[in-house]
Amino acid sequence: MRLGFGEILVVLVLALLFFGPSKLPQLGASLGEAIKGFKKGVAGIDEEKQTEKLPPAV
């Protein structure tokens, strides 16, 4: 499911109304850090799967 320009604009306007202009930079920074942490976690899981060694087949 992809968000179009209209949907993103509605979300931003609602965030502005709900949090106010003074809180939006903090909210954006927190969201960015959360996304970065999530991507790091996913990359770590992928790396673990690649480094797992299977026992030799008999």
Residue 36 CA to residue 30 CA, distance in Å, equals 10
Q: Letter for the amino acid at 40?
A: K
Q: How confident is the model at residue 54 (pLDDT cuts 50, 70, 90)?
A: low
pLDDT at 53: 63
Residue range 13-53, pLDDT digits in tens: 998 898 888 988 898 899 899 999 999 888 887 766 766 66
Q: What is the pTM of this model?
A: 0.55
**Domain boundaries, given as residue ranges, for the chain:** 21-48
Contact yes or no for 16/24 (Cβ under 8 A): yes
Q: Letter for the amino acid at 13?
A: V
